[in-house]
Structure 1
């Protein structure tokens, strides 16, 4: 399996830092990319709705959500640091393909809901500040894809610096908004005491939880922490866990400040004067100047909204890439992945605005956050199981107290969501003209997801046999071993990549050389560590690939074949010709996946580059 975000995996060194401050600074960054997801435009919609309808009384929900987020993000970071796997990869290696496809589908729905909120929010900000029509604003957000490509090509530290700059813009904007609004501090403090005014408040509260504790951030954080290269000893891992927790605490408290500031702003302006129905971001922007008496209030509001939308669309696109690669193990070229992810967000936004008009964007933003909240259980529960597992976590599993706290958080979220789903479906059944359709579609679907949730919760407690992270194994290959024929090729090189293409390549090689030939199996490690350190690379994928290559060798030697192995490091189209030209081979056999044309653009091509650089025949076999 490839590394998570392999372009930047282990690209930031934290070693050889002379001072503690420089050491801490080297680890700081990933949580700030995470924090923007906690202050995206979807949060704005739920915070404005909560503040205008219920004043300061739902501030405690934001505080509770922030504490939940800190706990869950620390678990996500722990998974990535210890196992060198993101949450999607860990799920793929743990659950059956059927369960994984469902989890992937749910994760994509969450990404779509999240991206929809971010794209709409940024488009609204552009509309408010520059008076550009909303549809055109949505189309402009496609440029985020190219900005992301530019930033990630410059390195993860440049991307982190860009995001931190946007977060600073948001924070400074709301410091001034608080100065303009002059909230009643005694009521702010009372708002931190848990109360629930009515059913509508519960709906808004669940939306706030969904907007604050975001499932895509759990996938993203477990990947971003792997951008740091550090000493993989027990002490080194402990240090990485500590510094990442400090990073998360600072970044998420900044996000809490922004969310609280939005709700307080809505309470101090709209709720205070009896405007309890302000749920649209556009309405909030329009009323700020007359209520606060300064033109800077709406300007700063729009600027902060654009910054929030811009930063969160970048991280949302990264999360989409991680989920697609992790669950499906689908390797397509980075720019194609990001265009697809961006289109998944833009198309629904354009369709919704075209059909329903610009007036429903506020309700749509809140609904998107409720959808996110409904998907949370399917991300949180696997995460808790993974980080509680002593085998997977190699001794760095969470303590019993942390496990209990994590399960309490998961239970709160799942129970609240269960009540929301029950109330929504019950309302649909009561108001529907033909409830039988709902009984045959929506109700069975809800029960199916409930069963899936229960399966994910309880299966690990009863099934102890499958508690390790699995990797691809060569033992399933159907190899043919011909006998008693005359062969012309005596020294054959075969490239392997631990996919089904190996089966075809090896069988064709046997037809060329039989048991008399000498076979050299070549595999190239393509991680960032391999690119940077070559033979000195010492990461998880190098270890796994070396082990699998030796398994191939062992299997073939047991069958009487003469086999040696070569492990290369870097880009296959550059490394393979070097290895071939250094050896005395008669032929190189390569298995391919048989794609051409458009698929070459999607997946890239290695064979064309290699065949011009080697001096022996190249035998290409299609899967």
Structure 2
């Protein structure tokens, strides 16, 4: 019980990065390459832990979020406003664009249990499950209770974890092959983009902003840094196990017409029975709804930092910020729109933001004037620098992909 008492913000970070996009990328990785790319998830989890620890340490020691620190520490007005514009574009507009995908992912999980999901309203065919998920997210966020949001997401993350891990166990994988996949890196020539995708869906820019803000909701300051680290390590490793489990489960399916986790759920039934299908669907639902809650929350925190609002989760402006993101997601998901141009813009902004904010974070956590004895160690800087170089590759590849330029 004492362990769960100190679990919180890290679980919300896990809830954020294990969304439908991550589940789909992991599914495709497992179907196409079996256990070969499991090592990429191990690297992703290490990178996520290192960066999120820096963000959490910054939040607890300095008492400010990442956006507020950007405003405070960048002295040049032109650079400051350019940075804030990039952050707002990537996180607020980006999360609004991706929110429909989060809600739709939850809907795909529910569709295994509910066969009829649409109602006709005039010329429109509306998926009412999108409204159900949207309303659940709205109620939880509207309470303005960090403790309630935290406990609800911990429960959903546990549901997601149990569902995916049990699904992987049901496939009875060869453990020696799994261990080799985890610790012996192999680079299949056609798998480079998949590796980039696995890392890119785990090391998420908006989680750095979310975590730096959330630790201040949960804990009082630097005295609780040890608790924050324990929370982070347990939660992110659990998230890594979820991603690894999806890859393992997908590896049991022969290559074929599988393009998403929903296809995987259907394909598992004839091989491993109803249990596998239902476990996987429950996990997909939990992955969708958790991301549908954390994406608007992160966007609201970023808006609050950019515009200098007060820190009350119940303030009207804070609610309007997350409400706008959630509403866009509900509408787009329920009527089946595909806002391709907005999503492309969001991908470009995120591709630029990831290396920029990683570099800024490395710079800021080395400032003794701000963090004192809690600034980065040499080892943290070495690992952080390697991750920074990796984010440049990730960001560059994302831009190239969006702009449809080949390597």
TM-score by length of 1: 0.57
What's the counterpart of residue 417 of structure 1?
395
Which of the pair is proportionally richer in helix? Answer: 2
Name the counterpart of 2:287: 308
**Partners in 1 of 2:147 and 2:245 — Cα distance?**
28
Instruction: Please say if residues 106 and 289 of structure 2, whose CA atoms lie closer than 8 Å, have aligned partners that are also in contact.
Output: yes
For residue 115 of structure 1, the aligned residue among 99, 108, 129 is: 99
Task: Indicate if the aligned counterparts of 1:207 and 1:373 stay in contact, CA closer than 8 A.
Answer: no
Corresponding residue for residue 16 of structure 1:
none
- Which of residues 149, 154, 175 is equivalent to 1:164? 154
1:278 aligns with 2:262: no
1:114-193 to 2 correspondences below 5 Å:
114-131=98-115, 132-133=117-118, 135-152=127-144, 155-192=145-182, 193=184
2:39 to 57, 60, 63: 60
Moved more, 306-315 or 44-53: 306-315
- CA 1:259–1:348: 2 relative to 1, 3 Å: same
**Does 2:357 align with 1:379?**
yes
Q: Could you say which residue in structure 2 is the equivalent of 1:252?
A: 236
Alignment counterpart, residue 103 of structure 1, candidates 84, 87, 98? 87
User: Partners in 1 of 2:90 and 2:53 — Cα distance?
Assistant: 23
CA deviation digits over 1:158-191, x for unaligned, max 9?
A: 3222111112212222232123211111211121
Structure 1 residue 143, shift from structure 2 partner:
0.8
For 1:188-587, what aligned pairs fall within 5 Å after superposition?
A: 188-192=178-182, 193-199=184-190, 201-230=191-220, 237=222, 239-268=223-252, 270=253, 273=254, 275-292=255-272, 294-330=273-309, 332-349=316-333, 353-354=336-337, 375-419=353-397, 421-422=399-400, 425=403, 427=405
1:541-572 CA-to-partner distances (Å, cap 9, x unmatched) read: xxxxxxxxxxxxxxxxxxxxxxxxxxxxxxxx
Q: CA deviation at 1:337?
A: 2.3
Shift of 1:375: 3.8
Q: Give the whole-Å Cα distance in 1 for the aligned partners of 2:176 and 2:6.
A: 38
- Alignment CA distance shift 1:37-1:420 (3 Å): closer
C-alpha separation between the residues in 2 aligned to 1:311 and 1:367? 24
Instruction: Please give the alpha-carbon distance, in whole angstroms, between the structure 1 residues aligned to 2:346 and 2:35.
Output: 23
CA distance in 2, matches of 1:367, 1:106: 8
Which has the greater radius of gyration?
Answer: 1
Unpaired runs of 5+ residues, structure 2, are: 75-79, 119-125, 311-315
Q: CA RMSD in A?
A: 2.9
TM-score normalised to the size of structure 2? 0.86
TM-aligned CA distance change 1:349 to 1:372, over 3 Å: farther
Structure 1 residues 97 and 367, CA, compared in 2 at 3 Å: closer, same or farther? Answer: closer
Distance 1:144 1:86, change over 3 A: farther
CA distance in 1, matches of 2:81, 2:352: 22
Deviation at 1:336, TM superposition (A): 2.0
Distance in 2 separating the partners of 1:367 and 1:181? 39
| Separation (CA, whole Å) in 2 of partners of 1:261 and 1:366 | 29
How far did 1:252 drift? 0.8
Question: Given the superposition, is the C-alpha separation of residues 424 and 228 from structure 1 closer, same or farther in structure 2, using an over 3 Å criterion?
Answer: closer
Structure 1 residues not aligned, in runs of 5+: 1-20, 431-623
Aligned equivalents of 1:61, 1:369: Cα separation in 2: 21
- Take 1:73 and 1:184, find their aligned partners in 2: how far apart are those partners? 33
Match of 2:66 among 73, 87, 100: 87
1:97, CA displacement in angstroms?
Answer: 2.0
Alignment size in residue pairs: 387
